[in-house]
């Protein structure tokens, strides 16, 4: 009677469990220490609320990185027989089919990954209930998330194992599969940043392929955080709930994992036993490896060589750069073939023809990237398309409406003077220094364009531009927006203030505090001196002067503490970077304390008068400097 087709073999399963007990044993210990033991210890300490302890256990015990490592190590162990010729021949000579081996290894992997997670979950529930924590539904939700993530990661490890005959190559392929697309995006962004004048090296915006870098996408989309409530008390926030996100993302990856397991089995069926020990098991993958390795190494090596040659001579054309990239790519192309064949003599007519096609494509790729860089470097938005513009040298200054044109004119002037600015920086930067200015456009369509330029200090070519930037920064409104917050005019509740200065007679720092009306008076005095423009020079750097000769002068410092005007308060950096709020509503700090810190001098008459009126000092001379004289 013909036997049934089976996908599971008990003998192989028992062998896997007993042979690889350190793999599942270590993962089980990790789960126990980061799950129930973490909860038990921290419930006993009671430094935080019980819900905060529960959140800490989820964050510490079920991190996506830990699940990825566990899946990788499990796959390396279960499929290790594919990487040694002797083991591969022996295993496949046994009276078991490849379907049985494959299915049994999958079930073994699921056991190694899922059982420790389930055991940790059950024990964590018992610990929570024993300590009066009934909100264990969050542990159940996170268990389902971890099971789905582990299911996907193990599918990816299994798929990678079918494409290589070398054990050390498996983790490399696994990492590449998890970050490939985002790595390409970052690499192109980096190249554009190297080629384009003023273009910051930020990832390309707007692409929708981030899901093809699973690990990075999961870390962005899957998260757990606490939800806080003040319960009517503005000063005290407590965690009342947990919020989880990413269920749809995990479900999509789990569904994709089923398809990946099927592809991996198809690859296993087509895999030759003799491929054990080879870097790649399928011939059709070899050109992909050669070209991919050659392109990455070509751009990286060529750009490194260009930077090295620029240290010797700064007058190198882009043709030299392209030649270096192509030469480095050709060298990497043949190195890749040496790795594939495990030999040094790899040159033949067929490979040379392929290399010629590769070199031509690499040159076209360089031209394409250079074209993107040139377009980005010369991009100047239309005024009507910009919602807000920001110029940041000491701090961000915001422009809107018709004022955006001032920022556009500044960028146009910088681009027109590019050659002069670069020559000045090359010749005199070490002597005079430089300042870095960032121009950011927040477009009405939601996109962001950011440019950064080095402007030489104490140079005629940049004096006018630096003067304009300094004028914007020293305007009272802009200064107060930065040093307090964007909605500084609406702040009503000022609690306390602290004065600090260095006493040269005793060589000690002196601290004095005031609360209530005195603190409010100091807060108003800061705004008054900023509006008069006398406070700015003690807190800002004027880059029209030599950046290397600035001398820090000892002045007094003033801290004033207040409560934000509303839950949606913003700093200027938050506004420039597009953050909705500095802290989300319902979390500590959203409506909590803020502080303004300034350095001031003797001509800040409003601050000096407020200090005298509230009794922190008896005279201006008490601050230890002759310039601090009593102001009439």
Check residue 427 and give its pLDDT.
84
- Reported as a pLDDT band with limits 50, 70 and 90, residue 44 is confident
- Helix ranges (H only) for 196-314 are 214-221, 247-270, 285-312
Rounded average pLDDT over 185-191: 87
Task: Specify the pLDDT at position 5.
Answer: 57
Has residue 264 got a pLDDT over 50?
Answer: yes
Judge whether 417 and 197 are in contact, CB under 8 Å: no
Predicted confidence at residue 61, as pLDDT, reads 45
pLDDT at position 486: 87
Determine which of 73-87, 103-117, 231-245, 514-528 has the lowest per-residue pLDDT on average.
231-245
What is the rounded distance in angstroms from the CA atom of residue 220 to the CA atom of residue 440? Answer: 24
What would the two tokens of residue 48 be?
Answer: 């935080």
User: ∠ CA 88-93-96 to the nearest 5 degrees?
Assistant: 105
pLDDT attached to residue 1: 35
Q: How far apart are the first and last CA of the chain?
A: 113
pLDDT of residue 3: 46
- Is 31's pLDDT higher than 50? yes
**Top-confidence range, 238-242, 486-490, 559-563, 583-587:** 559-563
Higher pLDDT, 435 or 60: 435
Tokens 């310039």 belong to which residue?
A: 627
Q: How confident is the model at residue 584 (pLDDT cuts 50, 70, 90)?
A: very low
Assign 177 a pLDDT band (cuts: 50, 70, 90): very high
Calculate the CA 328 to chain-centre distance: 30
Collapsing DSSP states into helix, strand and coil, what is residue 510?
A: strand
pLDDT at position 585:
41
Alpha-carbon span 129 to 120, nearest angstrom: 14
Taking the mean position of all CA atoms in its chain, how far away is CA 47? 30
For residue 310, pLDDT beyond 80: no
**What was the pLDDT predicted at 535?**
92
**Cα(405)–Cα(456) distance, integer angstroms:** 23
| Biggest alpha carbon–alpha carbon distance for the chain | 113
Average pLDDT rounded to a whole number, residues 433-439: 91
User: What is the chain's Cα-based Rg?
Assistant: 32
**Positive or negative torsion for Cα 596, 597, 599, 600:** positive
Choose between 47 and 604: higher pLDDT: 604
What stretch of H or E contains 608?
helix 605-613
pLDDT confidence bin for 118, thresholds 50/70/90: very high
List of residues 6+ apart from 217 with CB closer than 8 A: 210, 211, 249
> Token pair of 432, please?
């005079």
pLDDT of residue 85: 87
Tell me what pLDDT residue 43 has. Answer: 82
By mean pLDDT, which of 46-55, 75-84, 480-489 is the weakest?
46-55
pLDDT at 563 over 70: yes
For the stretch 503-536, pLDDT in tens is: 777 778 888 999 999 999 999 999 999 999 999 9
For residue 348, count CB atoms less than 10 angstroms from its CB and return exposed for 0-12, middle for 13-18, buried for 19 or more.
exposed
| pLDDT at residue 299 is higher than 50 | yes
Instruction: For residue range 383-425, list pLDDT tens digits in order.
Output: 999 999 999 999 999 999 999 999 999 999 999 999 999 888 8
3-state DSSP assignment of residue 329: helix
The 10s digit of each residue's pLDDT in 546-557 is 655 444 456 789
Separation between Cα atoms, residue 413 and residue 101, nearest integer Å = 69
Pick the more confident residue, 577 or 77: 77
**Residue 240 above 80 pLDDT?**
no
Question: Over the stretch 457-477, which tens digit does the pLDDT of each residue have?
Answer: 888 999 999 999 999 999 999
- Mean pLDDT of all residues in 311-340: 87
Long-range contacts of 379-383 (CB under 8 A, 24+ apart): 379/449, 380/408, 380/411, 380/412, 380/415, 381/408, 381/441, 381/443, 381/449, 383/408
pLDDT value, residue 243: 83
Contacts of 213 (CB under 8 A, 6+ apart): 178, 179, 180, 181, 182, 183
**pLDDT-derived band of residue 352, with 50, 70 and 90 as boundaries?**
very high
Helix (H) or strand (E) holding 340: helix 318-341
Q: What is the pLDDT at residue 266?
A: 95
% residues pLDDT > 70 (the chain)? 89
pLDDT at residue number 251: 95
Q: Is residue 29 predicted with pLDDT exceeding 90?
A: yes
The two tokens of residue 573 are 């950096």
Low-confidence winner among 62-71, 100-109, 388-397, 411-420 (lowest mean pLDDT): 62-71
* Pick from 9-13, 58-62, 109-113, 296-300: least confident: 58-62
Hey, how many other C-beta atoms are within 10 angstroms of the C-beta on 264?
Answer: 23
Q: How far apart are CA 290 and CA 275, in angstroms?
A: 18
Q: How far is CA 446 from CA 205, 244, 579, in A?
A: 11, 26, 12
pLDDT score, position 433: 82
The answer to whether 577 and 586 have CB atoms below 8 angstroms apart is: no
Cα–Cα distance measured from residue 163 to residue 284, given in angstroms and rounded to the nearest whole number:
11
Confidence of residue 502 (pLDDT cuts 50, 70, 90): confident
Q: Flag the least confident range among 33-42, 267-276, 309-318, 424-433.
A: 309-318
pLDDT band for position 22 (cuts 50, 70, 90): very high
Residue 536 is predicted with a pLDDT of 92
Distance CA 576, CA 311 (A): 35
Q: Say how far apart CA 453 and CA 425 lie, in whole Å.
A: 11
Q: What is the distance between the alpha carbons of residues 283 and 350, in angstroms, rounded to a whole number?
A: 15
Q: Where are the domains of the chain?
A: 10-179+257-274, 285-377, 383-458, 478-623
> Residue 509: beta bridge partners?
502
Give the Cα separation of 348 and 338 in Å (integer).
12
Distance separating alpha carbons of residues 518 and 497, to the nearest angstrom: 8
Q: 385-420: string of b/e by CB count within 10 Å (b at 16+)?
A: ebebbbbbbbbbbbbeeeebeebbebbeebbebeee
Q: Which pLDDT value is given to residue 340? A: 92
Task: Please report the pLDDT score of residue 202 as a whole number.
Answer: 65
What pLDDT digit, counting tens, does each position of 157-176 carry? 999 999 999 999 999 999 99
Is-contact 389 438, C-beta < 8 A? no
HEC sequence for 196-221: CCCECCCCCCCCCCHHHCHHHHHHHH
Region 93-117: mean pLDDT is 94
**Predicted confidence (pLDDT) per residue in 200-211, tens digit:** 766 555 567 888
Q: What does the mean pLDDT of the chain come to?
A: 87
* pLDDT reported for residue 621: 74
CA distance 581 to 588: 13
- How many CB atoms neighbour CB 74 within 10 A? 27
Q: Is the pLDDT of residue 624 over 80?
A: no
């Amino acid at each position: 009677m013909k036997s049934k087709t089976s996908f599971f073999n008990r003998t192989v399963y028992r062998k896997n469990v007993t042979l690889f007990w350190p793999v599942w044993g270590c993962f089980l210990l990790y789960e126990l220490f980061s799950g129930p033991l973490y909860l038990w210890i921290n419930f006993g300490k009671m430094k935080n609320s019980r819900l905060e302890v529960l959140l800490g256990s989820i964050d510490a015990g079920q991190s996506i990185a830990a699940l990825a490592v566990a899946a990788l190590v499990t796959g390396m162990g279960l499929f290790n027989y594919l990487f040694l010729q002797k083991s591969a021949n022996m295993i496949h000579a046994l009276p078991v089919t490849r379907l049985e081996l494959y299915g049994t290894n999958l079930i073994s992997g699921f056991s190694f990954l899922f059982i420790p997670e389930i055991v940790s979950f059950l024990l964590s529930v018992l610990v929570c209930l024993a300590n009066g924590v009934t909100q264990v539904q969050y542990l159940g939700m996170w268990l389902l998330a971890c099971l789905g993530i582990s299911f996907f990661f193990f599918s990816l490890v299994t798929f990678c194992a079918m494409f290589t005959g070398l054990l050390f190559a498996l983790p490399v392929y696994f990492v590449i599969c998890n970050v490939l697309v985002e790595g390409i995006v970052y690499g192109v962004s980096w190249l554009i940043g190297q080629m384009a004048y003023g273009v910051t090296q930020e990832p390309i915006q707007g692409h929708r392929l981030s899901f093809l870098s699973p690990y990075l996408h999961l870390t962005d989309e899957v998260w757990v955080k606490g939800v806080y409530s003040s319960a009517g008390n503005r000063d005290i926030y407590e965690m009342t709930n947990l919020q989880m996100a990413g269920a749809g993302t995990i479900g999509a990856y789990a569904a994709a994992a089923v398809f990946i397991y099927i592809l991996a089995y198809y690859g296993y069926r087509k895999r030759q036993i003799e491929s054990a020990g080879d870097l790649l098991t399928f011939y059709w993958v070899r050109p992909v490896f050669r070209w991919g390795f050659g392109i990455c190494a070509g751009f990286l090596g060529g750009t490194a060589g260009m930077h090295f040659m620029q240290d010797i001579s700064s007058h190198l054309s882009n043709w030299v750069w392209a030649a270096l990239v192509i030469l480095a790519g050709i060298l990497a192309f043949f190195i890749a073939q040496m790795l594939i064949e495990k030999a040094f003599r790899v040159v033949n007519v067929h490979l040379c023809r392929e290399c010629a096609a590769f070199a031509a494509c690499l040159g076209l790729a360089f031209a394409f990237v250079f074209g993107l860089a040139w377009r980005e470097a010369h991009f100047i938005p239309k005024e009507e398309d910009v919602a807000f513009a920001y110029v940041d040298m000491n701090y961000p200054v915001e422009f809107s409406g018709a004022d955006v044109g001032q920022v556009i004119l500044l960028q146009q002037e910088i681009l027109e003077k590019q050659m002069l600015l670069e020559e000045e920086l090359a010749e005199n930067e070490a002597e005079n220094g430089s300042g870095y200015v960032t121009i950011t456009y927040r477009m009405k369509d939601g996109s962001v364009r950011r440019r950064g330029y080095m402007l030489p200090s104490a140079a005629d070519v940049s004096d006018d531009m630096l003067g304009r930037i300094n004028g914007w920064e020293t305007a009272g409104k802009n200064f107060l927006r930065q040093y307090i917050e964007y909605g500084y005019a609406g702040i009503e509740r000022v609690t306390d203030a602290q004065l600090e200065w260095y006493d040269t007679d005793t060589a000690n720092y002196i601290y004095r505090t005031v609360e209530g009306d005195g603190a409010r008076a100091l807060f108003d005095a800061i705004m008054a001196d900023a509006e008069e423009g006398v406070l700015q020079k003690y807190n800002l750097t004027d880059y029209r002067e030599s950046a290397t000769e600035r001398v820090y002068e000892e002045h007094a410092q003033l801290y004033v503490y207040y409560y934000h005007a509303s839950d949606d308060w913003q700093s200027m950096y938050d506004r420039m970077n597009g953050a909705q709020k500095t802290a989300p509503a319902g979390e500590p700090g959203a409506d909590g304390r803020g502080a303004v810190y300034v350095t001031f001098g003797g001509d800040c008459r409003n601050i000096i008068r407020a200090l005298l009126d509230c009794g922190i000092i008896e005279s201006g001379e008490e601050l230890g400097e002759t310039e601090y004289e009593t102001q009439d």
